[in-house]
Amino acid sequence: MVREKIDLQPDKPGNEAPREDRDVARRVGGANASRETNFEAAGTAAGDSSAGIEGCEAPEPLTGKAATQERILAAASELFLARGYENTTIAQVAARAEVSRATVFWHFSDKESLFRECFNRICEPFRVSLARDQSTLPAEKRLLEQVELYQSFIAQHRGDVDGFIRWAMEHTSFRDWLIRSIFDLHNRFGGALTETIAEIVPPHHDPHAIAMGILVMLDGGIFLSYFDGSPRSAEMRQASVRAILDMIPRRVPGRY
């Protein structure tokens, strides 16, 4: 894979993206109005991806280098999803983020690194939520919140995740990395479920097996939604998950 690089200092006069690239970026932005990023408020963009995920608090507004990096990631994500990896150039990303190409390379070494960081940006709210200490919550409430975390993340980021998986799987250089990234999240979530269920079930039950069963059911719901995405079917799948959660054996208070 040929990597696009440039040896310039960021944001110096003359390093701006060519006019034709700025025009392409504007056209792509118009075609994706529903995903439009308000770069004037880019300092809060990182927090937008966690909105609606229980337990995620809105972060402090980004400033300086962090705000510029977030703006670049938001622009690159939109272009990668709309045009694909091969058809997106660093010049187009720079034009959409309203920075120079040199600034993009100042933050990200090449286009491949930028693509990886865009995917990590989407998954970050899920990682942060999993890492949050919930040990003070009652196990029953924690279990419900963990399942809701999974479902709400998929609901909010389904289009983004699908797009990045599609483009990454079409490029062998991304495939192994993508599989590792997804299974890392999968295993972290399974571990969190296992710890919670271990506090609920009697000692002679296997909490890991139960947790993996719940996770397989959640994964299966995603798979089935590709073939039947109707609201009624989605509600039925969610009701099925709740029914399975209710069937988990509970400890008898005071016995163990």
Q: Provide the Cα torsion 125, 131, 137, 140; round to 10°.
A: 80
pLDDT in the model for residue 205: 95
Asked if residue 245 has pLDDT above 70, the reply is yes
Q: What single-letter amino acid sits at 188?
A: R
* Contact of 175 with 169, CB cutoff 8 Å: yes
Q: How many CB atoms lie within 10 A of CB 216?
A: 11
More confident residue, 26 or 141: 141
- Residues 86-97 pLDDT 10s: 889 999 999 999
pLDDT in the model for residue 95: 95
What are the residue boundaries of the structural domains of the chain, listed by start?
19-117, 133-246
What DSSP designation does 60 have? Answer: P
Residue labelled with tokens 């700025």: 22
Q: Provide the Cα torsion 228, 232, 238, 242; round to 10°.
A: -140
What DSSP designation does 52 have? Answer: T
- Residues 98-144 pLDDT 10s: 999 999 999 998 999 999 999 888 888 888 888 888 889 999 999 99
Query: Which numeric CATH code is attached to 19-117?
Result: 1.10.10.60
Residue labelled with tokens 């920075």: 99
Tell me what the mean pLDDT of segment 245-250 comes to. Answer: 95
Q: Which pTM does this prediction carry?
A: 0.68
Q: Which of 238, 242, 139 is nearest to 193 (CA)?
A: 139
* Contact of 80 with 32, CB cutoff 8 Å: no
pLDDT in the model for residue 57: 53
